[in-house]
Amino acid sequence: MDWFAIIKRHYTEGRYKEADVAVFVDAGKITKRQYKQITGVRY
């Protein structure tokens, strides 16, 4: 499963906020670097 693509799509469409994306970093589904790629904010 491509977690990065799924999370990015949901974030871009406004379904996820930065805090929601952070949950996936904590769960090990995406990296801190990918978090920054998605949100534009350093984790």
Q: Are 9 and 38 in contact (CB under 8 A)?
A: no
The neighbour count for residue 37, using CB atoms within 10 Å, is 12
The tens digit of pLDDT for each residue in 3-33 reads 999 999 999 999 999 999 999 999 999 999 9
Q: Are 30 and 3 in contact (CB under 8 A)?
A: yes
Q: What is the pLDDT of residue 26?
A: 98
Q: What is the pLDDT of residue 40?
A: 98
Query: For a pLDDT cut of 70, what percent of the chain falls above it?
Result: 100
As given in the structure block, the two tokens for residue 43 are 């984790």
